[in-house]
Each structure stands twice: as C-alpha cells, then as structure tokens.
Chain A
Amino acid sequence: MTTALDAVTAALSSVAPDGDLSRLDDDLYEELGLDSMDLLNLAAAIAECTGVEIAERDYGELRTLRAVAESVAARQH
C-alpha cells in the first residue's frame, strides 16, 4: 500500500504539480479540479510506474488519493 501510495502520489503530482497531495481523502475532482484529461494522464502515469492499467470503467472508483492507491495495491496482487 505504501509503495502504491508513493507511486500514485508521484503520478498525481506529475499531473497536478500545484495540488496539495497531503490529504488522502480529499475529492480529487473538487479539491484538485481534475478533469478527464488529467484522469487519463494519471492512469497513464500509474501504468508507467506500477504496470497497473486501471480500466476506464473503474475510473469512478478514483475519487480520492487513498482510493486510487488502494485500487492500484489491490491490482498489484
């Protein structure tokens, strides 16, 4: 989980470099203002650094940093 969280945080900071990524349960859309292009870039960055490809139909799960990290961790095993 920690590794997944690190990877996801790194991916997200590349997508939203000026966002505050310290709060794991903030809504990514509302707090960081992510849009569909950001989500695509986030999924691509995660795929690149963890090998986990999150399906488009699962994008709905990705509301918070914690949710994304858990989703990636679950798929790594």
Chain B
Amino acid sequence: METAALASTGRIVTGDDILAMVAAATTPGTTPAERPPVAPPAPPRPADGGDRMRRAIAATMARAWTEVPHYHAAMRIDVGATIAHLAVRNEGVPPARRVLAAAVFLRAAALALRAVPELCGWWRNGAFVPGDGIHVATVVALRRGGLLAPVVRDAADKDLDAIMADLRDLVTRARNGRLRASEVDGATFTVTDLGETGADSLSPIIHPPQVAILGLGAVRPEPWATADGLLGVRPVLHATLAGDHRATDGRIGSRYLLALSDRLQEVDW
C-alpha cells in the first residue's frame, strides 16, 4: 500500500482511510492492458463500517488466494523453556510491565528472519525484492469482526520490552480505531497468532506483496518424545509457515521454522 503521502501528513487516520487504501491497493488492472474489458459495476456503498472492512478483507484475500501459489510447512515447537522463563520474569512485576508470550513469539519470528532473509520482503513485478528491514505485521482481530495488521518496525533490533510495548500500543489502538496509516504500511513479513483461546494451528494466507506469513496456534500441553526416547508432556506451539512458491520453496520454509524453534529455545531475555 502506498500510504506515504497520507502518512506524512501525520494526522490520525480512520479505519475508513485504511480500508480505502486496502481497496485501492487490491483493485486489479492498474495498466490498460490488465484492465478487464468491461468495468465491473461499482459496488454499492455499504453503510456499515464492519461491512466495508469485510469487503476490503475479501478483496485482499481473494487476490492472495488466486494469485499467490502457497506452500505450507509446519512444525511443533516445545516452548516449555519460554513459558517457564516468562512466568518467572512476570512474577512480582506490575501488570503494565508484564510480557505476553505473543511478544516472545514475535521477537523470535523476527530474529529467525535474519537467518532466512529470503522470506522477508515483497514479490514485485515477477521478482523477489528484499525488504528494507524486518518489519513484522501482527494480525489483530477486532471485537466486532474484521482484522487489522499493524507493523512492529525493525522488530529484530528491539529487545523484548520494546516489542511488548509496541504490541500493546498497536493492538490497543487497532481496537480503538486509532492507528495511523503509516502503522499498517510497509510490512515485510506477517505473524498471525491465535493466542491462548485459539485453535491448535492454522494455515495462514499470505498478505501480498509479502512472500510469507507465520501462523501460530494456542500453546497447549501435548505428548512429546524426549531426547532419551521417553514420552513427556510439554507446552507445544504449532507453527505453520506459508510461503509464496514463486519466491521460495518448501526447504526455505522448513529452514525458517528450524530457526524459529532455535530462537525459542534461547531464553536470553
């Protein structure tokens, strides 16, 4: 989405502004040759904002589903060390300074992109264009339905507290309709995290022109084969990486998930 002009004015944008940009970005046929021979009738103007958001999501997802050949690679990750370390870290800390597992996952997802930069960027004009940084969009479900994906910029350079502060601020303002256009623009990768009340796993759809998205399910206790050949119970995260098969192959997706798993075993925060 080309929102720089709007963003540079610095004013607060409304949900409608963002939706208008989404719609503009997803309208097919930007050159005469690509344009359909008969212009489709203008869609009736929906009165309801939620309806309008649904329409924008429909346009983006339909384009992603039909234009982007997806592959999905999945991995179960033992996050026992992360969860235990987080509980200790949050003990005796005021609520406002506590860190959620979602922030740890987002940071690990960003750091893993350093190891696999092939998934960080955009597919433009038939070629992969590397991103100008590790800018990770995080999908926020709105209470009345619909989604927004504000961006944690330079996420791999931020420590956990900074990621958590960004996440809390962006999620809160997304739900209050107070995001700036610049804050939903420029992502080079997306994470969609169903959170603790969500399904076990999901196979996400890429948000073009990005070339990959990471889907995270709820962390739940599961049987886990330990290194010594025994069976234990561990808190398990199902991570699913969707990649644009024009840009990368499943091997890259696998490499990314291995890097993610490695980052999640490190509790250096």
**How many interface residues does A have (CB within 8 Å)?**
22
Cβ proximity bits A21-46 to B, threshold 8 Å, 1 near / 0 not: 00000000100110111001101101
Separation of A18 and B142 alpha carbons in the complex (Å): 11
B228 at the interface (CB under 8 A from A): no
Taking CB as reference atom, which chain A residue is nearest B164?
A40
Are A57's CB and B171's CB within 8 A?
no
A residues in contact with B197, CB < 8 Å: 29, 35
A57: contacting residue among B87, B100, B102, B144, CB under 8 A: B87
- Answer yes or no: B168 CB below 8 A from chain A CBs: yes
Partner of B195, one of A16, A36, A43, A44: A36
Residue of B nearest to A46 (CB): B95
Q: Does A47 contact B (CB under 8 A)?
A: yes
* A-B interface pairs (CB < 8 A), number: 50
Within 8 A of A (CB), among B167-186: 167-168, 171-172, 176
Checking B94, B101, B143 against A36 with a beta-carbon cut-off of 8 angstroms, the contacting residue is B101
Distance to closest chain A CB from B167 (angstroms): 8
For B90, the chain A residues whose CB sits under 8 A away are: 56
Nearest residue (CB) in A for B196 is: A36
Given A18-B143, A37-B168, A37-B171, A56 and B98 contact (CB-CB distance below 8 Å): yes
B48 on interface, CB distance cutoff 8 Å: no
Q: Which residues of B contact A (CB under 8 A)?
A: 87, 90-92, 94-96, 98, 100-102, 143-144, 167-168, 171-172, 176, 195-197
Partner-B contacts on A (CB < 8 A): 16-19, 29, 32-33, 35-37, 40-41, 43-44, 46-48, 53-57
- Could you show 14 A-B contacts with beta carbons less than 8 Å apart? A16-B143, A17-B176, A19-B143, A35-B195, A36-B100, A36-B195, A37-B172, A40-B168, A43-B95, A44-B94, A47-B95, A53-B94, A54-B95, A56-B87
